[in-house]
Structure 1
C-alpha cells in the first residue's frame, strides 16, 4: 500500500479513537464498509467483539436501507436504538460505509449526534477503497 493510504489509515483510526475517548458516554465505535466488513474499531473492542458489532450494525443498516427504498425516503441517515442501559447509534459515513456507536444511558444524545455528524464528515474525506483495503490488512487478528 502507498504511504498516503498508511497515513490516512493512521488518521482514520486516530479520529475514531479520539471520538470514543473525548465524547462523554461513548463506550465503543466501529466503522464498517458497504459490504458489511469491519474497517476499524475503537480500542475497547477485541477483534471478535468488533466483528460481532459490525454484523449487528451492518444488518441494521441493511434493514433501514430496505425501508428507505420501500417508502422512498432517500437513504439512511441515522438509526438509534434505545435499550434499558444504553444506546446503539448507526450513521451513514460515505460511499455506503457505516459508523456504529455504543453509548451508555448516561450520555447526552444530542452531543453524541452532533459529534457523529462531525466525525462522519471528517471520515468522508479519508474513506477511499485504498484506505479500506489498508485498514483491513492491519486489523488485529
Structure 2
C-alpha cells in the first residue's frame, strides 16, 4: 500500500508498506527497524514477536518517546505480558498493532508533532 503524506518536512515518515517491506521516505527496507520522526534505527535485530525481549528496546527507551507503536508484522500478535509491563514501568506507553496499522498511526501522530516511535517487524 502506498501512503500519501500530508504535511511532513525534514522528518522520517512511512510512505508505503507491503508484504516483506516498508517504505520510509520512499526508501525500501526489508528488515525490522525503529522509526522516530527525527531518527531511523535500521536493522533492529528482532525477527518475531516470540523472541522479543526488553533489551531490544534499550536504545529506544533512552530516547524517551511518549509512546511506542509496536508493529507485529502482517498479523496483530500480542507479545509477552511481562514485556509490556516492563515497558510501561518506564513511563512510556506502548500500543500493539499490525505493521500496516503502525505505519499509518505513526504518520498521523508525527504530523501532530508528537514524540513517538514505531518499532516494526518486517517479515518475509
Same fold (TM over 0.5): no
Q: Which has the higher strand share?
A: 2
Task: From the CA coordinates, give the structure whose radius of gyration is larger.
Answer: 1
TM-score when scaled to structure 1? 0.29
Q: Which has the higher helix share?
A: 1
TM-score when scaled to structure 2? 0.32
